[in-house]
Amino acid sequence: MLAVAPEPPLLIRARVSAPALRRALVSGMRRVIRRRDHLNKINVFPVPDGDTGSNLAFTLNTVLSGSLSRRATSVGALLRAVADDAIDGARGNSGAILAQFLCGIGETVGDAQRLDTQDIAHAVQAGARQARSALAQPREGTILSVIQAFSEALQSPADDLSRWFGQAVVRARKALADTPRQLAVLRQAGVVDAGAQGFVDLLEGIQAFIVERRIAAPEHDPKDLAEDTFAGGHWHEEADPARPWCSECLVSAESIDHAALKAALDALGADSVVVAGGSRRVRLHAHVADPGVLFDLAVRFGAVTARKADNMRAQHRAATRQSQVTIVTDSASDLPDGLLDHLPLDTVPVRVSFGDEDFLDRISISNAEFYRRLREGPVLPQTSQPPPGDFRRQFELALAHAGQVVYVGLSRPLSGTLQSGETAAERFGPDRVTVIDSGQASCGQALMAIAAAECAAAGGDVATIRGRLAQLKPHTFTFAAARDIQHAVRGGRIPRWALPLANGLGLTAIARMRPNGKLSLAGALFGRSNVPTRFAHYVAKRLPKGARWRVMVGHCDAAEDARQLSDALRRILPVERDWLVETGPAIGAHAGPGSLVVGIQAVLDPAME
């Protein structure tokens, strides 16, 4: 939390100093963050995905923890740093537009030590112009209209800063109230534009500091929260279902041609395009059918970092489902396709890289492309856990529409992924986000996550879900078979001495998850023939007798082998339900092509549940 030391009256005079401006911006940004749940619930345009508040909060938290967390020597230096941080942290349409607005202001004030009302009016006018120019297709009835109204109201400078700024805020509120008249989807939902509301919240927070001379507390204020229902209950016709991915990245180069970049995005068929930033670094935002294609396009204009892609259809489903608890897992759990459509279950993607190219697991790189690169080489992939920011954003999105979150994570001994989730969870507190170590990976972790989501969908609370997973954990098993263990050896999952032995004897190595959450070499199959069927018998012999099973078979680009394995398990075991999945980069990078995974979980008798 920022320390607030007493200062002389700086904002009741016509010239604004850097310390006063810094404190005013902190007050405004805190108000937006405090109101994020309300903004999420009124978010229906351009897509009813319920994340405008979370996106703005993420954007502004980057600024608060960066440039606004330290003192500035001048107004100009402060505003340039604020703009840089906003571009780095911008999320969503409104976040990118607001970042460009701040860029325009920062560029215009230059190296100014202080600002008078005429300076402010000129800078805000430039910011409004740049915000509009960042969009390929500007729309009235959005944050742009409110920024424009605010800018126009400031063009009559005055000596009384408080009254002058207050009158401009009144104009902004009127423009906000007019947004439903300008956009039919807002009028039909009975709400104002969420991004425009966020901008007004920012202004009102600044105004509160001008009038009251204190920074508002950062905590949620119950009276600021919206009604329980989400306004975007229906996927309206302006939201194109063929372009469900809200995709973003940072592009850096010596010189970036904004017009050429927009033209390339138009040729791609991208929607809701925002290109925010300067000549050397831009935040690119667009709605597309395939995030990987967008990121490949961006590489033509410079170095690409901070890739992010959200499935807006999935977010819309999450915003409209009735569960009070949402389950989150990471993409190391190989969930079956279509499962997220009907369970309160969301995922955070693991990162994968080939040399200098970074990807999001199954979002910016498909399984087919991953395994093609893995087979062809020569660059071998590396995986890394999602940073805490990825978890924090997913938790915040889930909490906007559910009371609590349970994160079912990859086994702690295998990766820092669980710790990354725990770091993010600390921000919310144990009463809102609970972290559970699945003790599993891949298909076993997926079975644990599915069980948790089914419990949540049935109305179970956090204690019930935690108890359910504690019962299932000792009855959940994961086995893997690898014909070529070089990838597992290289990743440290299997001892190096095992590689020449396996190759020399023609062994198919078998690993399994241990009760302590570690993956270890458990045995081998001699010879390379009929491996799927023999692997099925190996697994069946090591399971407790008398149980019925849920079975998930995963494969690393070996679909036919997986089908044979699945068929063999159904013949040998009493299987109640089964799934066949293709494991993603989180597992494939270490197990290698051709590997097979079995996750198997006992169906507990009612007396045990």
pLDDT at 608: 45
Looking at the structure, tell me whether residues 39 and 154 fall in a common domain: yes
> What's the Rg (C-alpha) of the chain?
27
Q: Give the 3-state secondary structure percentages of the chain, helix then strand then coil, rounded to 5.
A: 50, 20, 30
Residue with tokens 């319920």: 50
The 3 state secondary structure assigned to 556-608 is CCCHHHHHHHHHHHHHHCCEEEEEEEECCHHHHHHHCCCCEEEEEEEECCHHH
Can you tell me the distance from the alpha carbon of 452 to that of 294, in angstroms, rounded to the nearest whole number?
A: 34
Task: Specify the amino acid at residue 395.
Answer: F
**Position 451 confidence tier, pLDDT thresholds 50, 70, 90:** very high
Torsion angle, CA of 397/398/399/400, rounded to 10 degrees? 50
CA neighbor of 179 nearest in space, from 198, 165, 162, 192: 192
Q: Which of 320, 346, 365 is the last residue before a domain boundary?
A: 320
Q: Which residues of 98-132 are buried (b: 16+ CB within 10 A; e: fewer)?
A: bbbbbbbbbbbbeebebbebebbbbbbbbbbbbbb
Instruction: Report the C-alpha gap between 216 and 551 in whole angstroms.
Output: 53
CATH number at residue 487: 3.30.1180.10
User: For 37-58, what is the mean pLDDT?
Assistant: 92
**pLDDT score of 485:** 65
pLDDT category, 609, cuts 50, 70, 90? very low
Q: Please state the rounded mean pLDDT for residues 67-73.
A: 91
In a domain, 340, yes or no: no
Per-residue confidence (pLDDT) for residue 337, from 0 to 100: 86
The average pLDDT across 555-583 equals 96
Instruction: Looking at the structure, tell me whether residues 62 and 200 fall in a common domain.
Output: yes
Q: Is pLDDT of 131 > 60? A: yes
Residue 350 forms part of a structural domain: no
- Within 10 angstroms of residue 389's Cβ, the number of other Cβ atoms is 17
Range of the domain at 68: 15-224
Judged against a pLDDT cut of 80, whether residue 10 lies above it is answered with no
The answer to whether residue 606 scores a pLDDT higher than 60 is no
Cβ neighbour number for residue 146 with a 10 Å cutoff? 29
In a domain, 72, yes or no: yes
479 and 523, same domain (yes or no): yes
Please give the average per-residue pLDDT across 393-417, as a whole number. Answer: 92
Domain CATH code at residue 315:
3.30.70
User: Is residue 390, in this structure, part of any structural domain at all?
Assistant: no
The answer to whether residue 365 sits within a structural domain is no
Could you read off the pLDDT of 452-473 as tens digits, one per residue? 999 999 999 999 999 999 999 9
Residue 102 lies in a domain: yes
**264 lies in the same domain as 203:** no
Q: Which residue has the higher pLDDT, 605 or 417?
A: 417
- Asked whether 599 and 478 are in contact (CB, 8 A), the reply is yes
Residue 589 pLDDT greater than 50, yes or no: yes
Tens of pLDDT, residues 153-199: 999 878 789 999 999 999 999 999 999 999 999 999 999 999 999 99
Going 148 to 153 to 156 to 159, the CA torsion angle's sign is negative
Would you state the pLDDT for residue 428?
93
State whether 21 and 76 are in the same domain. yes
Q: Is the pLDDT of residue 11 over 60?
A: no
Residue 433 has pLDDT above 60, yes or no: yes
Residue 459 domain-assigned (yes or no): no
Mean pLDDT of 137-148: 96
- Of the two residues 237 and 71, the one the predictor is more confident about is 71
- pLDDT-derived band at 487, boundaries 50, 70, 90: low
Banded pLDDT at 397 (limits 50, 70, 90):
confident
**pLDDT score of 225:** 45
Cβ–Cβ under 8 Å, residues 398 and 346:
yes
Least confident among 212-221, 338-347, 581-590: 212-221
Give CA 122 to chain center in angstroms: 36
Q: What are phi and psi of 320, to 5 degrees?
A: -105, -5
Specify whether 37 is located in the same domain as 134: yes
Q: Where is 303: in which H helix or E strand?
A: strand 303-311
State whether residue 390 is helix, strand or coil: helix
In this structure, the strands spanning 404-409 and 325-330 are: parallel
Same domain, 259 and 126: no
Burial of 159: CB neighbours in 10 Å, binned 0-12, 13-18, 19+: exposed
CA separation for the pair 386, 407 (Å, rounded): 13
Tokens 């209209």 identify what position?
145
Q: What's the pLDDT score for residue 3?
A: 45
What confidence score (pLDDT) does residue 1 get?
Answer: 38
What count of Cα atoms within 13 Å lies in the side-chain half-sphere of residue 108?
A: 20
- The pLDDT of residue 87 is 96
Judged against a pLDDT cut of 80, whether residue 491 lies above it is answered with no
Domain count, the chain: 3
**Mean pLDDT for the stretch of residues 96-119:** 95
- Distances, alpha carbon 343 to alpha carbons 297, 314, 319, 325, 400, in Å: 34, 11, 12, 11, 17
- The mean pLDDT value for 439-462 works out to 96
Write out pLDDT tens, residues 192-251: 999 999 999 999 999 999 998 877 666 554 444 444 578 877 777 777 888 999 999 999
Question: Do 369 and 291 touch, CB atoms closer than 8 A?
Answer: no
Residue 462 DSSP SS3: helix
CATH number at residue 124: 1.25.40.340
**What's the pLDDT score for residue 382?**
86
**Domain stops at, among 265, 288, 320:** 320
Comparing 65 with 239, the larger pLDDT belongs to 65
Query: Phi then psi for 323, rounded to 5 degrees?
Result: -60, 140
Laid out side by side, the sheet with 596-603 consists of: 519-526, 507-513, 476-482, 596-603, 548-555, 575-582
Residues 220 and 270 in one domain: no
Spatial neighbors of 376 by CB under 8 A, at least 6 apart, are: none
Report the SS3 class of residue 251. strand
Which one of 38-47, 142-151, 310-319, 503-512 scores highest in mean pLDDT? Answer: 142-151
Residues 119, 22: Cα–Cα separation, whole Å: 16
Average pLDDT over all residues of the chain:
89
Same domain, 112 and 179: yes
Examine the domain organization and report whether 105 and 135 are in the same domain: yes
Q: For residue 24, which of 91, 66, 75 has the smallest C-alpha distance? A: 75
**H or E element in which residue 551 lies:** strand 548-555
- Whether residue 369 lies inside any domain: the answer is no
More confident residue, 124 or 240: 124
Q: Which of 609, 321, 601 is nearest to 464 (CA)?
A: 609
Phi, psi of 296 (to 5 degrees): -65, -40
384 vs 563, which has greater pLDDT?
Answer: 563
In the predicted model, is pLDDT for residue 26 greater than 90? Answer: yes
Give me the pLDDT at residue 89, please. Answer: 93
Residues 27 and 160 in one domain: yes
Assigned token pair, 370: 């991953």
Looking at 320, 343, 377, which one is the last position of a domain? 320
Could you tell me if 147 and 250 lie in one domain?
no
Q: What is the per-residue DSSP string for 192-248?
A: --HHHHHHHHHHHHHHHHHHH-SPPPSS--GGG---SS-S--S--TTS-TT--EEEE
Cβ(443)–Cβ(477) below 8 Å: no
331's CB contacts (< 8 A; 6+ apart) are: 347, 348, 349, 350, 361, 362, 584, 586
